[in-house]
Each structure stands twice: as structure tokens, then as C-alpha cells.
Amino acid sequence: MGDMVIVNCTVVDGRACEGTGPVPDAAVLVQGERVAAVGPREQVLRRAGDLRRVDLGGAYLTPGLVNMHTHLSLSLPGRGGDGVKDMGPHDLALYMADGARRTLACGVTTVRCVAEKDHADFALRRAIEAGRAAGPRIFTAGRALVSTGGHGHEGTDTLECDGPDGFRRGARSQIKAGADLIKVMISGGIAGEHERMDTPQLFPDEMAAVLDTAHAWGRKVTAHAGPAPAIAQAVELGLDCVEHGYELTPEVAAAMAARGTALVPTLLVTRCASFFDELGVPEWMRARSLAAGPRHLAGYAMALAAGVTVLLGSDMPPFWPFEGTNATVRELEHMSEAGLGPAAALRAGTLGPARWLGADADIGTVEPGRYADLIAMDADPLASASAFRSVRWVMKGGEIVRDDPPGAPR
């Protein structure tokens, strides 16, 4: 750490969709944890004086990625998930800390956790903030709220609730623990053996109780949701974000756009057969996931057509090696290739999430005053989302945490 000036780079961020073009032959002045100046090289160097220079060798410099659907304690049905479920609290904490370190190294400098076991996410966040562990900035929902027997009820990453009073208590309990947002399961999903993906799991008064309570405390609510009727009902009541949206319709997508409800599509979860094979998930889950793929992709296209704000989220662990890259980058590629395009994909992975989190004064762009959460890559992210496969340099809060030489194997 320490003050420095980053040179020999082209600065690009999500504001490219809003008319702010790349800055070629740029320099970035970093003072402490934050960016102090950005602009043409000579202009910034005059201000920087004789500060240490970090030469990026012609790389493209962007904000660090923000993964909005993260489970560092993920345990799907099958032998891989069983190994995580069987961990004691100390093993689990170390497992999650290793995942956080690997997540940061692949260029994800912020995550939104949307259901973690035993509130270990809060301890991990404290350790990262204190400098005792390496990892991204963590925004977390704590344990997700679920009806008795509902989606994900089997694990310690959810809290079973029933009735409006039960869901109010559930929301308050997560806020008491330190949750930045609330996650609620309003339908069935891929990983629930004794449910369908279109099984509704909350009554309107239960959903309203969650939303009213969270919003009163200044927290947003995101919902695991597949079927259009359940999503429509929740959007009407004021839902802030939909996870997955497997079966969207044009009408529901239009309602989401009109009310400002965002979508984290997690396209990977219906096109990741090799990941399921690696974890040994049961055949019923594998078949359900892959069968939902075409409809999932169609719903995503409907959301784009309606103007819904879409945000990057992998559901798979952000760092997981997958199809020649990591899960975060592969998800961003799917989002771009399925109609979003590279510039908007960059925004969906940086500035868009920062705005949803209410953190855009601190993260999401390369601007003075923001944290120096920066990543560098050899290819142009405005030409292709696959440019993020070439990430070779990562900085978080002014500290360089990865520095591969140009051309090194990724």
C-alpha cells in the first residue's frame, strides 16, 4: 500500500453507456485507499510528482467486478455439497475465507451474499475489514427467509418463518445481526427435491410483512423467484430485486421495469452441466436445471426488451474454475452474448450493482473519491465481455493483491 500513480493504461468504466468514453494513455493517482485523480497521463503526473509509478504495460483498467449473487458456503445436493454441510464451524469459516481470497484474486472486489450458513458471513466480513483475511467487500443478507419446508429450508443458511409476524421477526433478526439487505425465497427452485420451480411459497401478507419491515429499516429486499405470477405479486408489493426469473413474461418484465425492480438472472445455473457433474448432484436436479435453460434465456430477453436493470450474479461460487475462466466472468459473457452487449455488461458488473447497493459514492467507477478497487486486463472490455478472461492485476483499497506479468498463463 501507499500513495502511487498507475500509468500506461486505458481507463474504462460503466459510464461508457452514458456517454463517458475511455481515457487512453491514462494515469490514475491513488492516495491511501481511494482514487485521487484520473485523466491523461501528463496531467495526472504533474500532480503526482515523484510518487511511485505502477506501469500496467498498456492494459485496460476498470473498476473491480461486483458479484450480486454469491454463496461462499454453497452446498448443493450431492457429494460435493455434503462435504460442506458436514463442516464444523471452524472448518466452515476457513473454507469461506479461502473462497473470499480466491474471489478477490479473480477480480471480484465486492460481493453481495444472498444466504450464508450460521452467520459466518458476518465474521468473515469483520475479518476482511480488519485486515485479518483477504477478500472482497461484503454486503450480505445473512440467512435467507423461507417458509417452513420452503426452498432451501434444509440448510443453516436459511431461517424458516410462517405468517406475517414470523416473517417480520425473521427480517428483524437478520437486520439485528448486521444484514445490509433481506433475501426471501418466494417460490420453488432447481435445488428443491420436493417442490416444483413454479411452486409459490409465500402468501401476499407474508411478502408484505418482509417488505414493509425491511424498507422501514432502510434495507432492500431481493427474492429467489422463478414463476411469473409469484414475481408479479411481489413486484406489485414493492420488491427491489428478482433472483433468477426463470419464467418471466413480457407483462411481468414490463411491471419490473416500471417499478424499478432489478433482475440478477444467474444464467449459469441452467447451463452448467459440468459443474453439477463435478459436485455429483442428483440426476433430478441436473435434469430440472438444464430443461429450464431455454425458458430462462427467453425470460432474460424479455427483461432486456422491457428495459429492466440487469445485474451480474453467478450463484456458482464467484471464483469457481468453469469453461476456461471463472464463474463470474462466464456469467458476464452469457449476459453480454444473450443481448446485453459488452458495454452494458461492464455496467451490469460494476456501476449497476453499486447503485443498487447504494454504494456508488464508493465503488463502481474509476473516479476521484471512490475506493481504488481496480482491475487490469490485456483485452478491451468494450469490445467483448470475454476481455475479463485476461484479468492479470487486481487492486483493492489501494493495495495490489495480484500482479501477473503480461502474457502469463491465467
pLDDT tens for residues 176-211? 999 999 999 999 887 777 778 788 889 999 999 999
199 vs 146: CA distance, rounded Å: 13
Q: Is 141 left (phi over 0), alpha (psi -120 to 50) or beta?
A: alpha
pLDDT in tens, 266-291: 999 999 999 999 989 899 888 888 99
Q: What is the pLDDT of residue 38?
A: 97
> Across-strand partners of 159?
145
Q: How far is CA 14 from the centre of its chain?
A: 16
Residue 398's nearest CA partner among 65, 104, 47, 30 is 30
Look at 77 and 122; give whichever has higher pLDDT: 122
Residue 2 burial (CB count, 10 A): 10
Residue 22, Cβ density class (10 Å: 0-12 exposed, 13-18 middle, ≥19 buried): middle
Residue 298 burial (CB count, 10 A): 15
pLDDT of residue 157 exceeding 80:
yes
The cell numbers describing 196, all together, are 416444483
pLDDT in tens, 38-73: 999 999 999 998 899 999 999 999 999 999 999 999
Share of the chain above pLDDT 90, in %: 86
What's the sign of the alpha-carbon dihedral 181, 186, 192, 198? negative
pLDDT of residue 257 exceeding 90:
yes
- DSSP one-letter string for 108-143: EEEEEES--GGGHHHHHHHHHHTTSS---EEEE--S
Residue 250, Cβ density class (10 Å: 0-12 exposed, 13-18 middle, ≥19 buried): middle
153 vs 147: CA distance, rounded Å: 8
Mean pLDDT of the chain: 95
What b-and-e string marks burial along 68-92, b requiring 16 or more CB atoms within 10 Å of the CB? bbbbbbbbbbbebbeebbebeeeeb
Q: How far is CA 12 from CA 17, 200, 330, 365, in A?
A: 11, 42, 20, 9
Q: What is the pLDDT of residue 358?
A: 98
Residue ranges and CATH numbers for the domains of the chain are 4-64+365-403 (2.30.40.10), 65-356 (3.20.20.140)
Of the pLDDT bands very low, low, confident and very high (cuts 50, 70, 90), residue 1 is low
Q: What is the pLDDT of residue 410?
A: 67
Give me the phi and psi of 69, to 5 degrees please: -140, 90
DSSP 243: E
Strand 241-247 relative to strand 262-264, pairing:
parallel
